[in-house]
Amino acid sequence: ESGAQARLTVGCRNLSQETVRVVIRASARPRGQSRGRGARGPREGQQWAKTVELGARQVAGEFDLGQQSFEDPMLWFPLGHGEQNLYELRVSVSLAQTPSEVSHQVSTTFGFRSLESAIDPRTRSRQFTVNGVPIFVRGGNYIVPDAMLRCDRERCWTEVRHHAEMGLNMIRLWGGAGVPYAEFYEACDFFGIMVWSEFWITGDCDGRGATKDSPESNPDWPLDHQLFLECACDVIKKLRNHPSVVLWCGGNEQVPCKELDDGLRALVGEKGSLDDSRPYVSGSLWGGFGQGGG
């Protein structure tokens, strides 16, 4: 028997011209009751509540609602190793003077799983262990499938399902592309496909791997480092609840310049960062991949 801890932070925006006191409520419960490895019976959910004050037009990045314990949680496993158990989180906000009237509400899903990743000294390749189970990775690359971004829910789910039906258990998101739609990650959670997520650095357009026939460019690309890291921060917050995401990578066949690499390491992979539950490697050819022996 084991337990898990879940900490909830919520962002709020006051659209009115007046200071308001609001009540934020949240609840998390298992999404269905699966059977199989990692699911041993019905589970109870947990609830959070907090009253906060927002100034006129104030945008608050994060309110910490605290931590809750989940006894013997239902676990999420990669494809072929157990069930893909998920929890549904519902968050609502109400004015303090009328707490029964919901002003706004959102819902999302998350999962519980442990993740360990290290380089095997024998093979010099990166190994992944989920919930104590070593995973033999079988994966492929995923690039924007449509130049016009015509990727609705049905298409996202179909493409991920095809990966699962081929027996693949990981998708690498190529660094030269954008961030897929939310439906893509929802499908990966559902089908048990692990995600290797790269930031937007690629060796064919940043100058450090340029040939004499290539146009010259600045090795510090992209030049607006603050904007790059702000975008990375938004993406990390957007994706960190998905149990399918198992790796952050600085870029494709290249590493970010030192300032960006240090900035990304401060955001992910290090204790106390926005996401310290997953490893970060600077580039796709290093850290146990490609030239690293993987």
The residues annotated as belonging to the active site are: 253
Distance CA 25, CA 48 (A): 6
Q: Which two tokens stand for residue 35?
A: 């059977």
Length of the chain: 294
Q: How many CB atoms lie within 10 A of CB 148?
A: 6
DSSP string, 129-151: EETTEEE---EEEE--S-TT---
Residue 230: φ, ψ to 5°: -65, -40
Which residue in this structure is represented by tokens 């959670």?
189
State residue 84 phi and psi, 5-degree precision: -100, 65
- Helical axes 225-239 vs 258-267, angle rounded to 10°: 30
Residue with tokens 């909830």: 8
Cis peptide before 222 (omega within 30 of 0): yes
